[in-house]
């Protein structure tokens, strides 16, 4: 039955051709086209749209009909080639202008395919140069949106004086994907001249002065804690340890080594040690604060240049202080 239908299609196609064109189709050519059509029909029915499409294309090299274009378009749709399928359907519309029923079918197929075809909307920068060249999958495009098949695509752009732009995007059936083209100048940025209003205002002096202020606050905290620990030992813990409260408290033993080992004595002596430790930390912090602050002020007064004299803090088991070195 399908052979008979295709034979009718071929006869109609030949009638539509002019005298010169019809003479180019020999009976052998038409038989070959019919055989190719039958082979394509079997391949498509067997789930091989790619093989069927090849046969349909070969048959159309002999005689092109709207029916063959419609069948080829259907195979292309099955292969995900929606752009090519739309082209085939539009061609079928043009070939079936004198057949109202067939033209209606072809037009409907073309409209359906057009709604399925994904599109890429390429947005150029407002100041895009005239040398801008846009490409989709390596092919130059001049209009937007661009019809593409479903799947991933590469959008690229080139322009004189700008770095190449590349971006991969995914498009599904019926989607319109907007791609903003970003152009970055390839010229090296010019060095920024320092602001004369702020030139010569060094940062290091202020850092040192701020550090000195922070260390001074830390020193005050350590000293306050040392005083509280000392007061607790002399006033509250001396009595339970067997000593007379006072400053300093009076203890009955001749030395620390001779002190009895009791919990009360351990608490008393431990609190005194704690007071001494924080007193040492307070002294060390104040010495460092003085050194940092003095150095910062000296640098600030000399505009960041090496000052005539530099304050260097020091401390050891005997105490601490500040040494000044440099030119006087």
Q: Which position has the higher pLDDT, 297 or 90?
A: 90
CA dihedral 109, 112, 117, 118 (to 10 degrees): 180
What domains appear along the chain, each with residue ranges and CATH number? Answer: 2-116 (1.25.40.10), 119-180 (no CATH), 204-326 (no CATH)
What gap in Å lies between CA 217 and CA 206, rounded to an integer?
17
Are the C-beta atoms of 211 and 295 separated by less than 8 Å? no
Q: Identify the sign of the CA torsion 77, 79, 83, 89.
A: negative
20-52 confidence digits (pLDDT tens): 444 456 778 888 888 998 999 999 999 999 999
C-alpha atoms less than 13 angstroms from C-alpha of 110 in its C-beta half-sphere: 17
Distance CA 60, CA 9 (A): 12
CA 68 – CA 50 distance, rounded (Å): 15
pTM (2 decimals)?
Answer: 0.51
The predicted-structure confidence for 256-297, as pLDDT tens digits, reads as follows 677 788 888 888 788 888 888 988 888 887 888 787 777 877
Name 169's Cβ contacts closer than 8 Å, sequence gap at least 6. 120, 152, 153, 155, 177, 179
């Amino acid at each position: 039955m399908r052979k008979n239908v295709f034979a009718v299609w071929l006869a109609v196609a030949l009638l539509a051709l002019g005298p010169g064109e019809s003479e180019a189709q020999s009976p052998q050519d038409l038989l070959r086209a019919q055989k190719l059509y039958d082979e394509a029909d079997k391949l498509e029915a067997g789930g091989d749209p790619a093989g069927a499409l090849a046969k349909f294309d070969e048959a159309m090299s002999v005689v092109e009909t709207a029916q063959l274009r419609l069948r080829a378009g259907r195979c292309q749709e099955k292969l995900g080639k929606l752009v090519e399928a739309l082209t085939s359907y539009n061609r079928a519309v043009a070939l079936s202008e004198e057949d109202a029923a067939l033209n209606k079918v072809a037009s409907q197929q073309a409209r359906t395919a057009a709604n399925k075809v994904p599109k890429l909307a390429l947005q150029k920068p407002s100041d895009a140069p005239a040398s801008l060249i846009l490409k989709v999958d390596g092919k130059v495009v001049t209009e937007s949106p661009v019809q593409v098949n479903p799947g991933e695509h590469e959008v690229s752009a080139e322009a004189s004086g700008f770095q190449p732009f590349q971006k991969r995007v995914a498009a599904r059936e019926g989607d319109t994907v907007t791609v903003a083209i970003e152009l970055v100048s390839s010229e090296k940025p010019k060095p920024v001249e320092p602001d004369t209003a702020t030139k010569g205002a060094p940062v290091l002096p202020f850092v040192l002065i701020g550090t000195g202020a922070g260390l001074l606050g830390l020193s005050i905290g350590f000293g306050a804690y040392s005083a509280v620990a000392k007061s607790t030992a002399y006033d509250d813990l001396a009595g339970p340890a067997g000593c007379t409260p006072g400053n300093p408290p009076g203890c009955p033993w001749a030395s620390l080594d001779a002190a009895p080992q009791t919990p009360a004595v351990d608490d008393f002596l431990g609190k005194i040690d704690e007071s001494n430790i924080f007193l040492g930390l307070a002294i060390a912090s104040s010495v460092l604060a003085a050194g940092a602050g003095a150095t910062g002020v000296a640098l600030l007064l000399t505009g960041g240049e090496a000052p005539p004299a530099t304050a260097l803090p020091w401390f050891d088991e005997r105490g601490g202080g500040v040494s000044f070195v440099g030119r006087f």
